Amino acid sequence: MPGIHVALQVDVHALYRRDHGWLQAWLRRKLGCSQNAADLAHDTYLRIITSGRTPPLEQSRAHLMQIAKGLVIDQYRRRRIEAAYLDALACQPEATAPSPEERALVLEVLIRIDTALGQLAPKVRETFVLSQFEGLTYSVIALQQGIAVATVRKYMLKATEACFAALGDDRCAP
């Protein structure tokens, strides 16, 4: 195995030398911030290292750009969730405000749940949102979606299982 590790190291080093400047400049144009660009370029190479595979030379920039785009989307999603959470906290009495550590933990959980819900089929996700955030009953959701109440139950079970799985809680797994 050490030979594989050394080969990966050599390949990543060559990839970094060849394309890092280009990637960081591309990200800087995309984000408008050199610090965020540097961070995301670094994270892009970390993804390459953790995957254990480097792209072929002719596909390296497209591969790096695909990874970086995903990281930009993740960063945007994280910021959107954080802003919504902070807005919700601002409506709470100051005496009940969570500590910075608690806020960080809750934010991490919210991001994991958002990711889990994002991987569900659109109808399942929409059913879950209508039930949990809009407060609609299963009957109303069924009418609105043009599906049976039993299907609403099935969708809610799938969404709930996905949320528990995202939290590392397999007590609700079948």
CA distance 159 to 138: 14
Pick the CATH number of 98-174 from 2.70.98.60, 1.10.10.10, 3.40.50.970, 3.20.20.70: 1.10.10.10
To which residue do tokens 């072929």 refer? 56
Q: What is the pTM of this model?
A: 0.68
pLDDT of residue 153: 97
Is the per-residue pLDDT at 1 higher than 50? no
Which tens digits make up the pLDDT trace of 90-131? 888 887 888 889 989 999 999 999 999 999 999 999 999 999
Q: SS3 for 89? A: helix
Spell 52-91 as b/e; 16+ CB within 10 A means b.
Answer: eebbeeeebbebbbebbeebbeeeeebeebeeeeeeeeee
Q: Where are the domains of the chain?
A: 1-96, 98-174
